[in-house]
């Protein structure tokens, strides 16, 4: 137990009759026997108070090295502990152990352990941080201000600026004493932190994308089996022309790659990106690939590209086309969408490899035909647009051949299991994909092209009125909805921006087609209709001022004529005779009148 008396704290190690073996916790001298009566003037003392009075670093987590040293020191004094109360034997044992350590060191460790009753107390004390010199403080300031910045100054530049700011007099002359560049560089290397280096000079986004430690499990967390499609797009490194030989630009390649096997499930190649390319891609994913290739003059066997179902999971980055409401509607078919966190390129490495392989395969054979080289943005570089000679149709054939090679001939570095090896699975994406489809966990959805496209169509709110279902300013009809037309109300409607001839009412999961009433808009796109409606509105607005002026002129004419008539007492008798007389007076023989008009 611990006892205290004024500035003294003692620990009672052993008691024997009226005697007590105690050790002074402050002075840490060797334990000694005292009369028990002398302890009556002492009060109880807590461990925390003793730790505070003796500056013991309680609760400090030891390093592995510190734990080893503490255990070695305890082993050194363990042989003395049984004789701690016998001063003669204790001294003899210390003399015996003093072969490799001095007696003073053994006594020091022995007293430390007896005071704190803890092996951790024998660990070397934590090193106090060395206070920086003024020169070191200046160097730290210069590194933070001039080196660890987005300006990316060199060490020599930061050193020069430090001398200018900290080691020059008022006239700008270098003072006599200043640190050398070697000292500055040594301090930089001693204190350098790579994370700080990357973030301060390149920014947090670049660090997350290119330099952050890649410690995750990668795409395997998303793809335990086939049926996980990774979506991405890229602009191809080649310029194309139209059929007339005029430059069009660089096409957009969109792809869906199975994350488990690496097989390309579908692709889209064209001039438009965004949601348009996604619809094209989804149609290609569920298409019969043999028939698709045949249409483009590429002939394959069914097993070479046996993918015609929708993956049950889509993994995307945070691109705007994937985050929009239109693409998210695909979840109505049972598809799950997984959005990758930002700046995690290693998680979509499968689809990135696909783009690299495809582009590297065609670029080496199309040099001088519009292919872009790495120097295309450098000053004075060759204008690769002038080399363009391939059309989109021809390039599409090349891409198809590259995909067939990628799926069937490219060797895949895959973690084959014993079961896969026993089944004779080959080291290519097509073989791995075919094996994976037979396993439990394969996740695919069968869907028709019409159902798929209807699901991906943009939607808006339609309103039932007596004049029809109003959608995007147009009126539509359908038999069997008389009550809805009379009752009114708002509904959700899918529409095709390319053709307003028909829209589809969302009715309990069914797409009910409604036909356009205003036939003059048949076959037109929504943009063309809105242009016509805008032009009509402008025409009406332009005539409004003229119409107003005409009404004013009409009122003026009527008032002038009316002003010439005099108000008299009107005779209301014999109205029938008066009417017959006026009819006879104003009656005209139109035959004679026509002859007079010649």
Over residues 160-175, mean pLDDT: 92
Asked if the model's pLDDT at residue 126 lies above 80, the reply is: no
Q: May I ask the CATH architecture of the domain 224-445?
A: 2-Layer Sandwich (3.30)
Please write the tens of the pLDDT for every residue from 473-508. 999 999 989 999 999 999 999 999 999 999 999 988
d(CA 5, CA 8): 5
Give dist(CA 66, CA 125) in Å, integer: 9
Is residue 217 pLDDT above 60, yes or no? no
Tens-place pLDDT, residues 30-82: 989 888 888 888 888 888 888 888 877 666 788 888 889 989 889 888 888 88
Residue 342 has pLDDT above 70, yes or no: no
Alpha carbon separation from 402 to 362, 398, 399, 435 (Å, rounded): 7, 6, 5, 22
User: What is the model's pLDDT at position 544?
Assistant: 86
| 48 CB-near residues (< 8 Å, 6+ apart) | 58
| 338 φ/ψ angles, rounded to the nearest 5 degrees | -110, 120
Residues 312-334: tens digit of each pLDDT: 999 887 665 566 667 888 888 88
Residue 567's pLDDT band, with cuts at 50, 70 and 90, is: confident
Q: Which residue has the higher pLDDT, 546 or 568?
A: 546
What average pLDDT does the chain have? 87
pLDDT at 395: 95
Average pLDDT over residues 250-270: 93
What is the Rg, in whole angstroms, of the alpha carbon atoms belonging to the chain? Answer: 46
* Band (83; pLDDT cuts 50, 70, 90): confident
CA angle 263, 428, 360 (to 5 degrees): 70
């Amino acid at each position: 137990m611990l006892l205290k008396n004024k500035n003294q704290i003692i620990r009672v190690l052993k008691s024997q009759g009226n005697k007590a073996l105690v050790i002074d916790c402050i002075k840490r001298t060797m334990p000694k026997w005292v009369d028990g009566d002398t302890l009556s003037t002492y009060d109880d003392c807590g461990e925390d108070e003793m730790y505070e009075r003796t500056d013991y670093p309680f609760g400090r987590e030891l390093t592995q090295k510190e734990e080893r040293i503490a255990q070695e020191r305890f082993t050194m004094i363990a042989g003395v502990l049984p004789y701690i109360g016998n001063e003669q034997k204790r001294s003899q044992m210390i003399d015996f152990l003093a072969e490799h350590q001095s007696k003073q060191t053994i006594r020091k460790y022995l007293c430390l352990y007896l005071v704190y009753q803890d092996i951790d107390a024998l660990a070397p004390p934590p090193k106090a941080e060395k206070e920086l010199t003024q020169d070191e403080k200046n160097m730290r300031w210069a590194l933070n201000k001039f080196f660890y910045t987005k300006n990316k100054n060199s060490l020599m530049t930061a050193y020069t600026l430090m001398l200018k700011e900290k080691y020059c007099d008022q006239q700008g002359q270098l003072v006599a004493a200043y640190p050398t560049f070697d000292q500055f560089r040594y301090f930089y290397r001693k204190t350098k932190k790579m994370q700080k280096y990357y973030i301060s000079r390149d920014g947090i986004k670049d660090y997350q994308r290119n330099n952050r430690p890649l410690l995750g499990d990668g795409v395997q967390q998303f793809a335990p089996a086939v049926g996980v499609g990774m979506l991405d797009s890229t602009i191809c490194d080649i310029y194309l022309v139209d059929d007339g030989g005029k430059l069009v630009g660089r096409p957009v390649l969109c792809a869906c790659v199975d994350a488990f096997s690496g097989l390309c499930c579908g692709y889209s190649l064209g001039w438009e990106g965004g949601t348009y390319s996604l619809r094209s891609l989804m149609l290609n994913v569920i298409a019969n690939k043999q028939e698709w290739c045949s249409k483009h003059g590429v002939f394959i066997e069914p097993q070479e590209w046996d993918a015609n179902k929708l993956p049950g999971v889509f993994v995307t980055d945070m691109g705007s086309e994937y985050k929009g409401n239109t693409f998210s509607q695909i979840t109505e078919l049972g598809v799950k969408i997984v959005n990758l966190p930002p700046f995690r390129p290693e998680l979509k490495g499968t689809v990135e490899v696909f783009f690299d392989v495809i582009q590297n395969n065609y670029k080496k054979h199309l040099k001088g035909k519009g292919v872009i080289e790495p120097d295309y943005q450098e000053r004075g570089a060759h204008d690769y647009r002038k080399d363009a000679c391939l059309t989109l149709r021809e390039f599409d054939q090349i891409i198809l051949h590259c995909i067939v090679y990628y799926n069937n001939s490219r060797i895949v570095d895959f973690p084959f299991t014993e079961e896969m090896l026993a089944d004779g699975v080959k080291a290519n994406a097509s073989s791995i994909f075919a094996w994976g489809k037979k396993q439990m966990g394969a996740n695919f959805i069968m869907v028709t092209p019409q159902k798929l496209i209807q699901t991906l169509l943009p939607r808006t709110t339609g309103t039932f009125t007596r004049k029809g279902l109003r959608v995007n300013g147009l009126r539509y009809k359908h038999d069997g909805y008389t009550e809805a037309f009379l009752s009114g109300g708002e509904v959700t409607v899918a529409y095709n921006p390319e053709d307003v001839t028909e829209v589809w009412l969302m009715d309990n999961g069914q797409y009910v087609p409604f036909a356009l009433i205003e036939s003059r808009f048949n076959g037109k796109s929504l943009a063309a209709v809105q242009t016509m409606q805008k032009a009509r509105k402008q025409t009406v607005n332009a005539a409004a001022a003229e119409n107003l002026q005409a009404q004013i002129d009409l009122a003026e004419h009527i008032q002038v004529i009316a002003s010439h008539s005099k108000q008299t007492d009107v005779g209301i008798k014999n109205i029938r005779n008066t009417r017959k007389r006026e009819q006879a007076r104003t009656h005209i023989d139109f035959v004679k009148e026509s002859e007079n008009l010649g």
